[in-house]
Amino acid sequence: MLDKRVISKSLIPENKAFSIKRIDEPHFDPTFHAHPEFQLSYVIKGEGNRIVGNSLQPFHANDMVFIGPNLPHVWKNHLSYFKKDSQLDTSVIVIYFHNNFFSEEIYGKAEFYKLKNFFNKSNLGIEIKGETRTIIGEMMFELLNTEGLESIILLLKILDTLVISTTCSYINEFDEAINYKEAETERIHKVYDFVIKNFDKQIRLEQVAEIANMTSTSFSRYFKTRLNKSFSDFLKEIRVNYACKLLKDDSISIEMISYECGYPSITNFNKQFKSVIGLQPRQYRDNFLNII
């Protein structure tokens, strides 16, 4: 049976045109899911990996993403956030609004052409960076304490800032690989959840294929099609992204980090890390420590 968390009820109260909330929790919702509303998320605190459509990327504070309707996504914190004695926590501001926030008649007007085009491209997921992110972040904080017509005006200012920005980029390259059915969303969620909980151990393809209720060959082909990368590359990126987090703490030896990330052989760890980041782990650590 499909995980009910994947099929969300409306995220917007019936008497509201849109919804904005600040969520402060020990960790983000770890469920790979989709919903019919547009979503603008601004991570204030927290780090880990995010999947939007078929893209896997690390995230940290100041991560800002605009997501179109029914685009599957998850911000999954590192394992350290889920430990019982964890002192870590997260914070995010999220705005939701419906696809019919503007009428079709309004969309047809010249003044709304660029906005309509922006919305149409949001099924790829859009990452907001640079000055645009700073400006919109400030407006989102202000919007938390704004009501009535002023809140609508402020939301329109946020959307206008997005539309004219030159520091936004698409997260996915191919929208045809993003149209997940509900059963597929659940399948990918189960696989991703298993990997996140076990990437520090040996993971065999047969294990993951069994979770997906597929043969190894079928699963390999399916995974490549849905996430635009092989399962082995996906697993490697999860491990290396976590290694990057640990390398920022110079009290942890690189040998220990190698083991913590599922690489008993430090030689293999160095090789795999460089294939993703372009640097050896020690070079990455030195560069980071020289910046701060």
Mean pLDDT by 10 residues, the chain (292 residues): 42 90 94 91 95 88 95 90 90 94 84 91 94 97 96 97 95 65 77 89 94 94 86 93 91 94 95 94 90 64
119 and 72, same structural domain? Answer: yes
pLDDT of residue 177: 46
pLDDT of residue 32: 86
Residue 119: which domain range?
18-175
pLDDT of residue 79: 84
**Both structure tokens of 173:** 């390259």
Provide the b/e sequence for 133-161 (b: ≥16 CB within 10 Å).
bebbbebbeebeeeeeeebeebbeebbeb
Measured CA to CA, the distance from residue 223 to residue 54 in angstroms comes to 10
pLDDT of residue 151: 97
**193 belongs to a structural domain:** no
CATH value at residue 151:
2.60.120.280
Under a CB-based contact definition with an 8 Å cutoff, are residues 50 and 59 in contact? yes
pLDDT of residue 4: 37
CATH value at residue 245:
1.10.10.60
pLDDT of residue 234: 92
pLDDT of residue 197: 87
**11 belongs to a structural domain:** no
69 and 205, same structural domain? Answer: no
Number of domains in the chain: 2
**135 belongs to a structural domain:** yes
138 and 246, same structural domain? Answer: no
**164 belongs to a structural domain:** yes
